[in-house]
Amino acid sequence: MKAYKPKNRLTAKAYVDGVLSGDRVILSRAITVVESNLESDKVLAKTIIQEILPHSGNSIRIGITGVPGVGKSTFIEAFGKYLIKLGHKVAILSIDPSSQRSKGSILGDKTRMEQLSGMEEAYIRPSASGETLGGVANKTGESMLLCEAAGYDVILIETVGVGQSETAVHGMTDFFLLLMLAGAGDELQGIKKGIMEMADMVVINKADADNVQKSERARVQYQNALHLFPLAESGWSPVVTKASSVENTGIERVWEEIMKYKELVTTNGYFENNRNHQKIKWLYNNINDELKRLFYNSKDIESKLSLLKEDIISSKVSPVEAAQQIIETFKKSFKP
């Protein structure tokens, strides 16, 4: 029985040429191939990525996260429009492991950033779907390379909500930006210490109207909190600033600080070292994903798991012993 192959697929060369020429339609179709779980598409995706690889990497990659209700989409739209005015091409990608179930970001991104999505110099892509965060992150990473090859020199990768995605986004970006609100009770708003430690910049958003004084108090509190953390490996001291996407204030300062950061880390060598570290981590993530796929697609494993589940439930076998038996079964399947 032949493997299913979609009829509307182009040749690898057609995808590569289209992406390199900056064709947004071909870029979208290439990302669809990269996100696909079909075996034929996986082979095609590998060829496309390999060909565009020398043309990628020439962007600043910025991760953006924030507490619910912080106005992330409005901020990203204002920020994106500002960057385009400066002459940049901006791609916005999102990481949302829940999107396969909730479809939350599939319809939301473009309607939330209506003005930006209509601009020729902007490209907005909702989250790849996937059963695991690692799988979603790997696909988003490949989409990022395609966007860079298509000429986008600023890549914004947003997380949907505050949760498990931050580490994944931090692990594929050069600069990590945390959006916060003022006057929402506890000024640290339950943000995990780890997320605060990852931030290269904290932006107090919605610093307008009645929020101006509260935003300044929050800025001071966050700056004091960040001083308690050890100096980052990059040598950069995180900055806390204020912005209003509605009044369009503070956006310029955000970009100025990002450029200062880039100058520092390029000069001290951290930028290149961090990118190299991320590439190696990406290698291990892909190995882990492929091993999981091989493991759970094995008929021998499926059969053994089915038998041992019953034994575990009836307390005939401990989960530890069962796991060892399953691993032995997996190892035998690779012996000649």
pLDDT score recorded for residue 184: 53
For residues 88 and 267, give the distance between their C-alpha atoms in angstroms, rounded to a whole number.
22
Q: What CATH code is assigned to 56-268?
A: 3.40.50.300
pLDDT score, position 233 = 93
Catalogue the E-assigned strands of the chain.
60-66, 90-95, 122-125, 154-159, 175-180, 201-204, 239-242
| Segments of the chain scoring below 50 in pLDDT | 1-4, 100-108, 185-187
Residue 160 per-residue DSSP state: S
The confidence score (pLDDT) of residue 107 equals 42
3-state secondary structure of 125: strand
- Residue ranges of the chain assigned to CATH 3.40.50.300: 56-268
pLDDT in tens, 143-200: 999 999 999 999 999 987 556 688 888 999 999 999 988 865 444 555 667 788 889 9
Q: What's the pTM value of the predicted model, to 2 decimals?
A: 0.88
What is the residue whose two structure tokens read 């401990």?
Answer: 318
User: How far apart, in Å, are the Cα atoms of 336 and each of 51, 149, 290, 329?
Assistant: 34, 42, 21, 14
Residue 227: predicted pLDDT: 82
Assign a CATH topology to domain 1-55. 1.20.5
Q: Report the alpha-carbon distance of residue 174 to residue 144 in Å, rounded.
A: 13
